[in-house]
């Protein structure tokens, strides 16, 4: 079953004069094993520690725009995460990529270790 999150776009706050005038697309959630071959996996968010009970998030391009985790059924329920090589993601406490944040680069088997258990409700990703 595909979950299509509501497209909430967030432009990265930047003081640069050359802000890219396009909103990055959000990622799409998949259950493990159902990833489209056209998409690249960017992030795995899991309700349990050690990457168990997960959703796979894919996108066709980087950066990945603000993606609502709560809308896919993991509201304040993510306990472990993993990015793929070459991708760094930022988790946010609100559903709209605001609030407290936690950068993820690689695998974190227990978000409690960084004080971020059951806190994430949205994310963005960039190439590392
Ligand atoms: C992410 O981790 C990789 C591997 O440890 C490292 O080479 C890279 O610099 C890191 N990227 C960021 C943005 O921290």
The answer, yes or no, to whether any atom of ligand 1 lies below 6 A from the CB of 128, is: yes
Q: Say if pTM beats, i.e. exceeds, 0.85.
A: no
pLDDT at 10: 29
Express each pLDDT in 47-96 by its tens digit: 999 999 999 999 988 999 999 999 999 999 999 999 999 999 999 999 99
pLDDT at 39: 79
Residue 113, SS3 per DSSP: helix
- Rounded to an integer, the average pLDDT of 14-27 is 52
Domains in the chain: ranges and CATH: 23-127 (2.60.20.10)
pLDDT at 122: 98
- Cα of 105 from ligand 1 centre, angstroms: 6
- Rounded to an integer, the average pLDDT of 38-52 is 93
Ligand 1, atom 1, lies closest to the CA of: 105
Residue 93, judged by CB atoms within 10 A of its CB (0-12, 13-18, 19+), counts as middle
Ligand 1, atom 13, lies closest to the CA of: 128
The answer, yes or no, to whether any atom of ligand 1 lies below 6 A from the CB of 34, is: no
């Amino acid at each position: 079953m595909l979950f299509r999150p509501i497209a909430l776009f967030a432009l990265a706050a930047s003081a640069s004069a050359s802000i890219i005038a396009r909103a990055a697309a959000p990622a799409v959630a998949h259950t493990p094993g159902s990833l489209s071959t056209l998409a690249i996996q960017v992030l795995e968010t899991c309700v349990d520690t050690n990457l168990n009970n997960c959703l796979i998030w894919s996108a066709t391009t980087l950066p990945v725009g603000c993606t609502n985790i709560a809308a896919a059924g993991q509201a304040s329920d993510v306990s472990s995460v993993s990015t793929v090589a070459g991708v760094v993601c930022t988790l946010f406490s609100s559903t709209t990529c605001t609030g407290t944040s936690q950068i993820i680069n690689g695998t974190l088997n227990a978000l409690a270790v960084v004080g971020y258990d059951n806190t994430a409700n949205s994310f963005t990703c960039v190439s590392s």
